[in-house]
Amino acid sequence: MYDIRQFKPALYTLLLLGFSGFSLATQTPGIWVLSTMLLLLNIWLIRTGRFNPMPRWMANLVTIGAVVYIVSEIRANTAVPIVLIGQFLVLLQLVKIYEQRANRDYAQLLVLSLLLVVAAAINTASLLFGAILIVYLFLSLYCCLLFHLKVETDHAKVALGVREDRINPATFRQDQRYLSSSMRRLTGLVSMVAIALAVMVFLFFPRGAGANWLTPLQLRAASSTGFSDEVSFQNIARIQQNNELAARVRLTHQGQLVQGTMMLLLRGNVLTDYSGGNRGTGSWKWTRVAPEEPPTIDFSQGMTKLPDRDTDDQWYQEITLEPHGLTTLFFMPGPVAIGGSADLTRVRFFPRDDVISTIENVSQQTKYTVVSSNARYTPGPQQMRNRTSVPTAGTDWRSILSNLRPQTQTRSQRPSSDANDQPGRNSLIDPKITEIARRPEVSGSDAAGALVDRRDPKVRQPLPIDETIAENFEQYLRSNYRYTLDLTDMRSIMEGQDPIVAFLYDVKRGHCEYFAGAMTLMCQSLGMNARLVVGYKCDEYNAAGGYYMVRQSHAHAWVEVLTTKGWRTFDPTSANDAGPSPAGTAWTKMKHYFDYLEFLWATTVIGYDRDSRDNMLQNIRNLDVRMTNTLINSKVDPNTMRRSVSEWLADFFSEKNFLLFSSRILSGLIYVMFFAVAGAIAGFVYERVKLRKRAKRIGLESLPQHDLVRLARQLGFYDELLRLLAKYRMERSRTQTPREFAQSLAYLPGQAYDLVHRLTDLYYQIRYGGAELNVSRRSKVRKAIEQVEQILRVSVRRPY
């Protein structure tokens, strides 16, 4: 009899996978370090013989303390409840590891580990966690099978009473040789069947759009560490770079895929008014006076075309936005049309600022599309590179836009030319900012003199010289100021004065908010219409997936100035000390490839819904149509076929037939499960009745229920022997003991008499000695009864 030595290594590996998966899902490396360290310590204690189980009272005390902590944290609302529950499950497993005494503790560890992985799966859709989950499921199946075998082996050892050192070495080697391979084959067979059923259910029974009821239990409130919908200058510190992914953008220009050959600017929010001059309140920040709330745009009928928009130059953006906890959506300047998906069905568009926002905060991954026109966006020389494109088949956005439904807009919702709506009218600008803006070396000059002398600050309409002045401001800031993320050593200089003034006159270095804020105020001080824009500036392109990777560290601020040609984008931030752009190293390419796999996992597996299923079926139909056309073109008469494959697929996968087919499968499975449960209950009842009758025949009816059932199963061979002898009129009287009955059969042939005596002795060993029949002894007993039957059939005439 083999000791199941594979069980503990498999169990500890399973626990380690559970801890790793939960730590990855909740992004808590501290939990992983603590749990792994305690798990390895437990292994070392067991291997060295130093392990002593934790006292029950101590385990109960730790568990009660953990319950009190979790309840208090949930009531305080400091974290998401599902995360706290997962932490509680981790603690319970650690307690059980150090409390383990019997198989019951192992069973509890298996259940707790499974619950922990379920809690982790609710909190993440990571590809890496998906890989861990797949390995965990296979290993858990193998571990459960080993645990069942271990329990049965332990029971057999106790029943036989055989010491470990008395086990036959040949039997030990045989069990050790064949157990591992047989368990692996069984695990593989069950796993293949489970995978096939899971794939069928996944493909043909997808979740409904927006029907994920686990969404409210997601990990934590999403937040953006790079982008903010306001710019504040009160905290003078070092800005920490965060390389977490913020969005993925697939960009197409005039039907051709842009392969990372240009700098991508994604507008987020627009800030127009600066409160830095109000030193009494200590408020140094940019704000935006929200325009009148526009009506909600509903995407239930597809993309929506915005009114009065030029569509000659089309930039089509497919954006997958990660949760950031705000209502802001990002896109290239000059939106022409917008459209959502199952994750985003309604938005609001502010035409005055060209800002698009959601109804609620973006708390989960969101997909949407925006078509922008470059007519209202003139990139500067530092924002464009040599652009090359490759064609994408079958994409004509010009024809698509011509068929879009326009957004209805009332008079009050159209952009107003009122002076109160002009950007910067409410800004509080320090006179020193106006002073530096009016310097000829800053704003520019020509043969006629300084340009600002021809610019009346009271004139709020754009003039032809505004574009030239803005270009000079941009060039001046780029050339004379330095970019940095660390301003901690400038605290004493910047305190007590407007931060933009300190930046322009004293510090002369800062991050993008200082550059963009300074240029915006310089333009506004001259009466020009200028606004500060916050969003993302990105040039990281994933060649494997064909999309831009926008990170939190790509958050940026720039300026938009109204010229006679429309709003134009300026980026005054200096490139000095900005740091090199990421090179296309092998490590970077490998990270991009992994991100592409993550993106495929999220879109094709996590995001698989009914629409995805319908698209898959439509692709199958289209493939068949192409095959049929090929047959026709090759002069094969399709009429000779009894039925076209295309027609058959169309009929089978039609909505009506598919729903009917799905409902029949589901109904069939329900009936099968019902009859299986009913059959199991009936079989259980029948077996108990059969065992009771057997116990009565062999004199066990006075025993307790547990012993009665166990002995009735073990002594089934003796009942079979008595029924065989009864066929030949050799019946045992109720007053006879089994041994007396065996001795009364002395007239039988010698071999049959000897076999009956040996079977009777085995009866006494099981009935009173606590012995149990294993598989090999059952086989020998069966052969002995068959020999008795053969002898009786030849030597004793059966009565009729």
Per-residue pLDDT tens over the stretch 20-47: 999 888 888 888 888 889 999 998 888 8
**Mean pLDDT value of segment 389-407:** 46
Measured in degrees and rounded to the nearest 5, phi and psi for residue 446 equal -140, -165
How does residue 13 score in pLDDT terms, banded at 50, 70 and 90? very high
| The pLDDT of residue 707 | 77
User: What's the DSSP call for residue 216?
Assistant: G
742 versus 422: which is more confidently predicted? Answer: 742
**Mean pLDDT value of segment 539-544:** 86
pLDDT tens digits, one per residue of 297-318: 887 667 888 876 666 778 899 9
| The pLDDT of residue 667 | 57
User: What's the DSSP call for residue 251?
Assistant: E
User: What's the DSSP call for residue 411?
Assistant: G
CA distance 38 to 30: 12
| The pLDDT of residue 400 | 46
402 versus 774: which is more confidently predicted? Answer: 774
Measured in degrees and rounded to the nearest 5, phi and psi for residue 182 equal -70, -40
Q: What is the H or E stretch that residue 183 is in? A: helix 169-204
Q: Flag whether pLDDT at 518 surpasses 90.
A: yes
Q: At 536, is the secondary structure helix, strand, or coil?
A: strand
* Domain-wise residue ranges, the chain: 7-204, 241-406, 609-652, 698-795
475 token code pair: 């060039």
Cβ proximity of 724 and 704 under 8 Å: no
pLDDT tens digits, one per residue of 98-112: 988 788 888 889 999
How does residue 478 score in pLDDT terms, banded at 50, 70 and 90? very high
Scored b (16 or more CB within 10 A) or e, 99-129 reads bbeeeeebebbbebbbbbbebbbbbbbbbbb
Contacts of 337 (CB under 8 A, 6+ apart): 303, 304, 305, 306, 309, 370, 371, 401, 404
**With the C-alpha atoms ordered 207, 212, 549, 328, is the resulting torsion angle positive or negative?**
positive
pLDDT tens digits, one per residue of 161-170: 655 555 555 5
**Mean pLDDT value of segment 193-221:** 57
* Angle in degrees, 0-180, between the axes of helices 705-714 and 655-697, rounded to the nearest 10: 90
pLDDT tens digits, one per residue of 754-769: 998 888 888 888 888 8
Measured in degrees and rounded to the nearest 5, phi and psi for residue 318 equal -100, 110
| The pLDDT of residue 210 | 45
Give the Cβ contact number of residue 571 at 10 Å: 25
The greatest distance separating any two alpha carbons of the chain, rounded to the nearest whole angstrom, comes to 142
Best CA proximity match to 14, nearest among 133, 108, 140: 140
CA distance 431 to 442: 16
How does residue 633 score in pLDDT terms, banded at 50, 70 and 90? low
Contacts of 488 (CB under 8 A, 6+ apart): 236, 237, 238
Query: Of the segments 114-123, 283-292, 335-344, which one has the largest average pLDDT value?
Result: 114-123
Give CA separation, 717 vs 100, 564, 744, 768, in Å.
39, 104, 20, 16
Helix runs in 77-168, H state only: 81-99, 103-123, 127-160
pLDDT tens digits, one per residue of 245-269: 889 999 998 888 888 888 899 998 8
Least confident of 254-258, 339-343, 349-353: 339-343
| The pLDDT of residue 409 | 44
CA distance 623 to 626: 5
Cβ proximity of 792 and 724 under 8 Å: yes
**Mean pLDDT value of segment 229-247:** 68
| The pLDDT of residue 507 | 87
pLDDT tens digits, one per residue of 689-710: 888 888 888 888 888 777 788 8
Q: At 370, is the secondary structure helix, strand, or coil?
A: strand
| The pLDDT of residue 343 | 73
Least confident of 72-76, 232-236, 448-452, 569-573: 232-236
Do strands 449-450 and 264-271 pair parallel, antiparallel, or not at all (unpaired)?
unpaired
Burial of 320 (0-12, 13-18, 19+ CB in 10 A): buried
Q: Flag whether pLDDT at 461 surpasses 90.
A: no
Q: Flag whether pLDDT at 491 surpasses 90.
A: no
Q: Flag whether pLDDT at 676 surpasses 60.
A: yes
pLDDT tens digits, one per residue of 710-738: 888 888 888 888 888 888 888 888 788 88
Percent of the chain scoring above 70 in pLDDT: 70
| The pLDDT of residue 438 | 92
pLDDT tens digits, one per residue of 615-625: 666 666 666 56
Percent of the chain scoring above 90 in pLDDT: 13
Q: Flag whether pLDDT at 15 surpasses 90.
A: yes
Q: Look over the chain and give the mean of its residue pLDDT values, rounded to a whole number.
A: 76
Q: Flag whether pLDDT at 323 surpasses 60.
A: yes
Residue with tokens 């099968």: 672
